[in-house]
């Protein structure tokens, strides 16, 4: 087999494997919930202001503390101020997040409660 023939064969094999991987990714993404979960940060009025990928986190208080610290880059005054104001943190699966929370993160969406003042 010539170099060119071998090169073409390898290209086809790589293309076939890539197609298989793409299908696997699609299957995972299209599964209910897709296995993904998100921490959703909301003002006291309920309007969403931020989101983090939750990875494998559960809903324990320790997981919540890690999420707050991750979002606010540690023990920042801004994080403590939002907690004191009554901001909430919700763990949501991906489908629920897309349906109920994601639209509020669109740049055109505005909180009807005067900026989340609640």
Asked whether residue 39 falls in the same domain as residue 83, the answer is yes
Whether the pLDDT of residue 99 is over 50: the answer is: yes
Residue 10 lies in a domain: yes
Q: Is residue 57 part of a domain?
A: yes
What range does the domain containing 77 cover? Answer: 34-105
The tens digit of pLDDT for each residue in 61-87 reads 788 888 888 888 877 788 888 888 889
One domain, residues 22 and 61: no
Question: Is residue 39 located within the same domain as residue 61?
Answer: yes
**pLDDT digits 0-9 by tens, 13-62:** 887 777 766 666 665 555 555 578 889 999 888 889 889 988 766 677 78
Rounded to two decimals, the pTM is 0.62
CA 98 – CA 106 distance, rounded (Å): 11
Q: Are residues 16 and 44 in the same domain?
A: no
For residue 111, being part of any structural domain is answered with: no
Q: What is the DSSP string of 27-68?
A: HHHHSGGGG-EEEEEE-TTS-EEEEEE-TT--SSHHHHHHHH
């Amino acid at each position: 087999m010539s170099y060119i023939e071998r090169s073409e064969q390898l290209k086809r094999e790589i293309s076939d494997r890539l197609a298989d991987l793409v299908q696997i990714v699609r299957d995972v993404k299209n599964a209910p919930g897709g296995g993904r979960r998100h921490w959703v940060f909301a003002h006291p009025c309920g309007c969403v202001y931020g989101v983090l990928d939750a990875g494998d986190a559960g809903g324990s208080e320790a997981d919540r503390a890690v999420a707050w610290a991750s979002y606010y880059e540690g023990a920042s005054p801004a994080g403590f101020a939002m907690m004191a104001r009554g901001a909430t943190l919700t763990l949501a699966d991906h489908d629920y997040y897309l349906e109920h929370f994601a639209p509020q993160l669109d740049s055109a969406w505005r909180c009807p409660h005067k900026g989340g003042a609640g």
